[in-house]
Structures are given as C-alpha cells and as structure tokens.
Structure 1
C-alpha cells in the first residue's frame, strides 16, 4: 500500500466512514458478518451530539488512533480495522435501533464501545440475540456488569470509584455529603453506590438531588444543596450540569461549592472549557493512568496519538478509548486469521489475567469485568490534573 493510500484510509477511519472498501481494493466478504479478505468492520453506537459528546469524541479519537496504528503496520492478520459510527444522541431507543441494524446486517463483525449506562443495559439482550460481541462500554454501572457472554468491559465499576471517594473523604474527617445525580440508570447506580459506601465508612448523605439528563433546573438544585449544608458534594452527572450547579451555588451561597467530586466520565477538558478558573479544586476519580504520566500505557498512547491521532488531545477518555482498541486488537490476534465471532469471544475469555501496557484486564468464561484500576486526582489551575 502506498503512503498516499494509507493516509487516505486512515483519514476515512478517523471520520468513522471506513466501512466501505476503498475503490482500489476488492474485498470479498467471508461467512462471518463484517469479515472480509482485507478488512474487519466494527460498529459503534454513541452520542456525539449529546451532553456526553465531548467524552465520547475523545474516547473515539483514542480508539481510532489505535486502529490506525495497526492498519499502518499492515492490519491484523492482513486485515485493516475500520469503524462505522451511528449517532444515538444518548437516547436509548435510538441506540437500540442502531444495535438492531448492526445485528441484523451483514457488514459489522462486532461493536467497538457502547455509550451510556441505560443504553448498555437495554442493549445487553440484543448482543446475545444477535451474537454480537461488544468490547468497551462507557459505563461502570453495576447492573451493566452482570455477566453477558458478548459484552467485555474495559473500565472499572462506578461503585469502585464512589467507594474511593467516600473512603478518602471519611479518612480526612469529611462525613456530611450531598449527592447530585442524573435521574436515569447511570445516576441511580452511582447513588446506590454512594449510599452503600456511606454506610460502610460511617458517613451521612445529607441530600440526594436528582435531575433530568437534559433541561435540568440548576437554580433549584443549588438551593437544595445550599440548604443541606454538606461538607462535600458528589456529582454524578455531565460536565455541563456540574458547571451550571457550581455557578448557581456560588451565586446563592456567595461561596464555592464545598469539596466537589466527580467521576472519571466527567470530561476534564470540557469542565475546563465551561468553568475556566473555577475548575481548580475539583477532585476526580480516574480509571486510567495519567495520560501525560510515565506509565507504559501513557507513553505508548502519546506516541500513537502523535502519529495517528490528535497529539494535543491527550485526555483520560482518549487513553481509555486507545486501551479499548488494544483489547480488541489483542482479541483479534488471538482469534487468528480464520475469524469468527465465537472464536473472538473465546479468545477474549482466554485473557484470564492479561497485562496490556501494564494495565491488567481480567476476562474468563464466567466474568468479563475487565480492569479494576482507580486513583484519586485533583484539578489545578487551567484544568491541570494533579495526582
């Protein structure tokens, strides 16, 4: 393949439009959906146009950079890797329609990431119905982590993140906490985790404040938090809601929101854009190592992003997407040239305890929970992540 053609192919993949073979390649589809002589096609249902859009875009940038690196090296077993993305706007019905289209069609081998707790929960029966393997779900909800033969997680559970928050706060003497959460599967799962952790560490949840994922009312939410007078606020919601609540709280209380904590899915770049200098002091749990840090995963990620992605978008979510790509690639490598969905699932289950770039991924025939990594970080001036 000439350099010009390779660049053209990678650009098509980055635009999520590489499902169709380039005109200078004749591809014959094998007996398995999405598997051709010269390529493997993955599907992705995700909400670029939603409150979580920034997170999902960054994640996908990392995933596609991983695939582009493999493609530049000749592909996996001679096959190029490509992704077809369908927009779901973070709406369950639209996501399910996308999964059905992927499952009923002949052009997608498996899924490369599903976005959202409610979407993942609703899609799980369809994965089994269509025997459609999915690697990576942008959720840590406990309900979505119930064993499903065709779903493989590449991030730890929200309950692990929330437990780390409450444990840390309790250790330093902060025990009065409020919880602000989206009134959906994502928010309810994290609220339940906070209630359980509070009981374990003798903390008190002085308020729980639900809100819709769209069209929330920040002023009323802030008033509830002000009245509860917590020492810390756990924010299980989108970056836009976090920013709105913090601004509304400051206007009403004439003070900053006390000790705000957010989950790893709350995009740091988006928070920094929305809050500017007010981002300083937000604590955030992370499920990946620092993307600019010394870990092997981070070093390889930066190198690949410089060549095949956006070298200035070195976010945690992009690293998570990149590592999801690494899991997919390793599964394909183990499955061999004679690629089938069942062989791919068995290859992933054969990981047992597989270290990829010093991150451990645990998959067996009865558990697909993936990694358990979590650490606490703090946002400094300009959104700098401090460990």
Structure 2
C-alpha cells in the first residue's frame, strides 16, 4: 500500500520533532555543564598552586627540646598571615619538621630526608654541634639554610663558614664584645667565665676570652661540671674569684640549674649574664621569679615591647595562634620572615638554586625601626646587640 501524502507529512513531522527534542536535550546538558564550571564553556578547572616547602630539623625531644618547640611556635604563627595574604607569588608555604634530639649525626641525616621532600630552603636549625655536622651536608646538597640558633664564631670564620648558611643575628663574639663594653659601665669590672663542657661551651669560650682578656689581666675560667658534685665545685671556684658578674656560657637545663644553685650559695643579688640563645622558658620556667636581675644579650626587639613594629606584628601573629610570647619564638618568627623575603626575592624560581641566587644578590627584611639586611655576598644579616635585664615576671627590659 502506498502511503498517502498526509501520512508521509505526519511521519516527517514526528521525525523532525524527535530530532529537535534530542538537540534541545543535548544543548540543555551542555548548558548545565557550563554552568557548573567557572567562566565560559572554554574555562577549565585550574589546579591549586603547588606549595613551597621549607625544612626544619631541630630538637623536639631531649634536654634542648624547648628550642625546637619555641622556634616552631614562632615560625608557624608568623607563617599563617603570609599564607592568608596569598603566600609567595600565589603559592602557599609549608614547613616540614623532623626531630633530631640535638644529636649531630641525626640532624645531618634529617637534612637528607628533608631534601628528598623537595625543600626550597632550611630554616631555624638548632645547635652548634649539630651545625658543625650539618654544614658539610648543606654544601653537598646545595640547599640554603636561613637562621640558626648558634651564634658560634667558628661557624662564621672564613675557614669554618658555609656559603649555604645565612645568619640572621649577631654572633657570640658580638655578644661577648657587647658584655665587655657594657658591663663596666654599670660597675661590673671583675668577670668570671663559667663554661659548659660541650661544643657550645668550647666555641663560646674562645670568643669570650678574645673579648674579656686584657694585657696583664686574667679572667677566671671555671668549667661547669656534669653532675651535682661538679656543679658544687664550680660554684666554689666562682665564689673564690669574687666576680662582680658571671658570664655563663651554657645552654639547656644546665643554665638555670647553675644560676639557681649559685644564687643560693652567693645570695640573690649575685649577677649572671647569659647569651641570648640561653633565654626562654627553659630559663624563666625553672627559675620563675628568681630570674629577676639576670642580664642577657638582646639581638632582636624584645617580644614584649609595644614600640617596635617587628614586635607588634609578632605579637599579633602569636595572639591569633593562641601562643604565649617568648624570646625563642620571636627568633623563630624572624627567621621565617627573612626566609619568606628571600623566596620573594627569588621571583618565579623558588628552587634552592633560585633562593641561593637571591641571597647572593642581597635580601632585606625592613620593618621600619628594625631590619635584617643581608648585603650582597654577605652571610650575616644583623649584628644588633643591646643589654637587657629580666624582670620577675620573665619579661625583658632593655
């Protein structure tokens, strides 16, 4: 039977309707897909910018654990506003941490582990002994290290310095020279040096003797014993010398232990001066109100001052993080901020080589009334030192 013209027309109309329906459905699906993506139909979802990683090996266990913990608190607190503001060239920053328990071989091994994670630089490394072991590894890995707790001059001499290490604070030699210059102005002319028998103490003693030894004058040197009997013998030697002040070259728990026993034997007015790195909760926490009157070198603005921009910005970051203020966390913050400045100066090349080139050109962290200025070719960003005194509440007065 031959279809009629009317039948053919109806069939064609149904075919066209089905075709139009399919096209409309396809178009609607495409429209829904486009609406689900940002921008136009050509827009593609962009992957998040890869994070830039900094690495830290430090003691988070053992007698020097306070150093690692306080540096971490300061660095993490001051990293948060950097990431909130977009990181570095749109890339967020993170810090990878490893515990070395202040063990030199373990610290060196941790550097290799962190290097395998693709760090752009190391920050906030801790200890003279560990640094002596880490410097050859840094030279081998060719990764910069920015900021170390150690002020040992042996790490800054032409023979002992590493081109891959940048120091953001004055050296122990600068601190001892400051003590030798400032203590006599407040009537403290007779000084005794009390020295811990480890790499920190030995390195510090050489710098202290250079600052305090005068022609025809002998500065008593007393070795700090490793046990209670040795501590008692050291205190007896110091009292026999009758110094106006003791310059203590010791860190960790040995420092507050000596100060407490020495003041118990010689009286609460006995004066002790400590290096900047000795300050912190390990000192104030153990001595409590007995910390009052202890002298110290101040290498950064006091964390408690309200007049310095560096301190105010640190205080705001620590408050946001819910952390208490301290000398060591202030240092951890400043080291982190200088590392960020170096990364920004490196431009689009946030590799170890790019950061090293930026450091070689010179990097400045200018905070108005305080700055870290690394001159081209230099490896020391600050030699600032002032004299501070602890109050009974553990805070410093400069």
> Normalising by the residue count of structure 1, what TM-score does the alignment of the two structures yield?
0.83
Kindly state the Cα deviation for residue 239 of structure 1 after the two structures are TM-superposed.
Answer: 5.0
2:162 is aligned with 1:148: yes
Secondary structure of the residue that 2:76 maps to in structure 1? helix
User: 2:149 matched to 1:138?
Assistant: yes
2:99 maps to 1:99 = no
Farther off after superposition, 273-282 or 127-136: 273-282
The secondary structure found in structure 2 opposite 1:381 is coil
2:78–2:333 contact (8 Å) kept in structure 1:
yes
User: Within the alignment, does 1:292 sit opposite 2:326 as a pair?
Assistant: no
**Structure 1 contact 175–204 (Cα < 8 Å) conserved:** no
2:51 match: 39
Task: Give structure 1 stretches of 5+ with no counterpart.
Answer: 1-24, 28-36
Aligned pairs for 1:322-333 within 5 A: 322-333=333-344
| Pairing 1:224-235 to 2, within 5 Å after superposition | 224-235=237-248
Q: CA RMSD in A?
A: 2.4
Sort the Cα spacing of 1:107 and 1:231 in 2 relative to 1 into closer, same or farther, 3 A: same
Q: CA deviation digits over 1:5-63, x for unaligned, max 9?
A: xxxxxxxxxxxxxxxxxxxx977xxxxxxxxx420112111012133322332222111
SS at match of 1:163: helix
The aligned counterpart of 1:198 is 212
Residue aligning to 2:279: 267
Pick the structure with greater CA Rg: 2
Residue equivalent to 1:163: 177
- Is the 8 Å Cα contact of residues 197 and 224 (structure 2) preserved in structure 1? yes
Partner-residue secondary structure (3-state), 1:44: strand
Give the Cα separation in 1 of the matches to 2:280 and 2:257. 15
Structure 1 residues 106 and 63: alpha-carbon distance in aligned structure 2, compared to 1, 3 A threshold: closer
1:155 and 1:338 map into 2 onto residues whose CA distance is 26
Kindly state the Cα deviation for residue 211 of structure 1 after the two structures are TM-superposed.
Answer: 4.3
**Residues 245 and 270 in structure 2, CA contact (< 8 A), matched pair in contact too:** yes
Distance 1:196 1:328 in 2: 32
Worse-matched range after superposition: 267-276 or 110-119: 267-276
Match of 1:347 in 2: 358
Aligned to 1:186: 200
Query: Does structure 2 conserve the Cα–Cα contact (< 8 Å) formed by 1:43 and 1:110?
Result: yes
Partner of residue 240 from structure 1, selected from 253, 258, 277: 253
- Distance, in Å, in 2 between the alignment partners of 1:77 and 1:112 is 20
Task: Give the Å deviation of 1:221.
Answer: 2.3
